[in-house]
Amino acid sequence: MKKTHLYILFLILLSSITLAQNYFEAGGYAKYLFSSSEFPQLNERLYDHIIHSRLNTKYFFDDSFALKTEFRFRSFFGNSIKKIPNFSELIKTNQPLLDMDWLVWQNQNTVGYAEIDRLYLDYNANDVQLTVGRQRIAWGTSWVWNPTDLFNPLSILDFDYEELPGNDALRIQYYTGAVSKIEFALAPNRKKNKITSAALISYNAFDYDFNFIAGIKNNRWITGFSWVGDILGAGFRGEVTLQEKPERLSEYELLYSQFELQPISYSNKHFFSFVLSGDYTFPNSFYIHTEILFNNTGVKKFAGVFTKEASETGMLSPARLSVFQEFSYNISPLVRASIFGIFNPNDKSKVIVPSISYSIITNLDLYLIALIFNGDQFTQFGDYGTSVYARIKYSF
């Protein structure tokens, strides 16, 4: 039996030891997503369907000890399975330590994929909290880009995965006050040079929360800080990180040579990232949110070519500068409209994302969204086309 299966079996057996004297919670959702996506590389538009179900459970041994498990299953059918090479590999979630996913079926027309994306034990004793297993460790304070989120950085364009990926990790939190703590987290990896280990100190002063971090990620040291507070009722957030320059990734040299460019990893500078974020909600529910990201080693042209290398080196964007702008408004108590965009000022490419949500009845929601990419070839957003989505979701 695989080590992963033994790990899951151990937690399930542990959860049944004192079943009679404890309690259990369960919830989840089922949803259907239709998409119409333009693929410039294929020179055609593809139509796809996803049926997505999720089950979230939490079993309490007592007031201080709990086991949480979250499972999701997705079935895909449509044009992409036939048209996109290695489609079944592209939909899989990266699981760097334990494989807790299954390709349930695969044929020319449909693919079924299941995974456990949360499975952890949570123990609280006075001021100490210990969490072991697949969990989400979110250290960032900003809402679009989180360079201080060393374990689970998010992507705002991945709109259909509300829970976001987790990590197989050990996490220890010691609360030194009502709004202050010291935290340590360790995320092992099959590859020794990919282990993430870091500490965080959180402290409140002047009605602001300040977080200071230091650790090792991808075999490189990283340090930084973040804050969250408000100015005259407007949210004000920011994050700053400085990390050791990576080893040279020579495998990208041939690709970049045709553009007369060098890999990002050839830079002699340590990597510096800075995020500044502000948002405000007016009394009539109109909401505005602005955020910027600066990378000192980001590129000013052909950013789309650098996307893979940037991800591998821990950058949230290959661009030197990125600007985010969002507006939203409650048309009625049941309908909310929103539009946001991400703009690269250097290569002039952008993505615009309008959406509208409608609460049909209790626990049943309709969501319409489009991702409109625009820019020249090889720019950050110039090679993705336009996609529109319609989703209906029932929660229980």
Q: What is the pLDDT of residues 190-239, one digit of tens each?
A: 988 899 999 999 999 999 999 999 999 999 999 999 999 999 999 999 99
pLDDT of residue 254: 86
pLDDT of residue 363: 95
**DSSP annotation string for 255-271:** HHHTTT---GGG-SSPE
Residue 17 has pLDDT above 60, yes or no: no
> What share of the chain in percent tops pLDDT 70?
95
Q: What is the pLDDT of residues 281-312, one digit of tens each?
A: 999 999 999 999 999 999 999 999 999 999 99
309, 297 contact by CB (below 8 A): no
Across residues 330-357, what is the average pLDDT? 97
Range of lowest pLDDT (20-24, 53-57, 118-122, 137-141): 20-24
- Torsion of the alpha carbons at 179, 184, 189 and 191, rounded to the nearest 10: 120
Residue 7 has pLDDT above 70, yes or no: no
Interacting residues of 7 by C-beta distance below 8 A, sequence separation 6+: 98
Interacting residues of 228 by C-beta distance below 8 A, sequence separation 6+: 141, 208, 209, 235, 236, 237
**Token pair in block for residue 387:** 């996609």
What phi-psi label fits residue 216: left (phi over 0), alpha (psi between -120 and 50 degrees) or beta? beta
Residue 16 has pLDDT above 70, yes or no: no
pLDDT of residue 192: 85
pLDDT of residue 2: 54
pLDDT of residue 197: 97
pLDDT of residue 249: 87
DSSP helix/strand/coil, 46: strand
Residue 8 has pLDDT above 70, yes or no: no
Interacting residues of 260 by C-beta distance below 8 A, sequence separation 6+: none
Residue 270 has pLDDT above 70, yes or no: yes
pLDDT of residue 295: 97
CA dist 241 and 200 (Å) reads 13
Confidence of residue 113 (pLDDT cuts 50, 70, 90): very high
Determine whether 342 is exposed, middle or buried from the number of CB atoms within 10 Å of its CB (0-12, 13-18, 19+). buried
156-184 as b/e: b if 16+ CB within 10 A: eeeeeeeeebbbbbbbebebeeeeebebe
Confidence of residue 19 (pLDDT cuts 50, 70, 90): very low
**Token pair in block for residue 228:** 């969250």
134, 117 contact by CB (below 8 A): yes
Cβ-defined contacts of 198-202 (< 8 Å, 24+): 198/150, 198/151, 198/222, 200/139
**Mean per-residue pLDDT of the chain:** 92
Across residues 80-98, what is the average pLDDT? 91
pLDDT of residue 259: 83
- Torsion of the alpha carbons at 337, 339, 340 and 343, rounded to the nearest 10: 180
Instruction: Please tell me the pTM assigned to this model.
Output: 0.90
**DSSP annotation string for 276-326:** EEEEEE-TTS-EEEEEEEEETT-BSS-GGGGHHHHHHTT-S-SBSEEEEEE
pLDDT of residue 154: 82
253-271 as b/e: b if 16+ CB within 10 A: eeebeeeebebbbbeeeeb
**Token pair in block for residue 78:** 């449509």
CA dist 50 and 31 (Å) reads 8
**DSSP annotation string for 199-231:** EEEEEEETTEEEEEEEEEETTEEEEEEEEEEEE
Q: In Å, how far from its chain's centre is CA 174? A: 25
> What share of the chain in percent tops pLDDT 90?
80
pLDDT of residue 199: 98
pLDDT of residue 18: 45
CA dist 85 and 107 (Å) reads 13
DSSP helix/strand/coil, 136: coil
CA dist 164 and 166 (Å) reads 7
pLDDT of residue 20: 45
Residue 4 has pLDDT above 80, yes or no: no
Determine whether 361 is exposed, middle or buried from the number of CB atoms within 10 Å of its CB (0-12, 13-18, 19+). exposed
pLDDT of residue 3: 53
Across residues 149-177, what is the average pLDDT? 92
CA dist 92 and 49 (Å) reads 17
Residue 14 has pLDDT above 80, yes or no: no
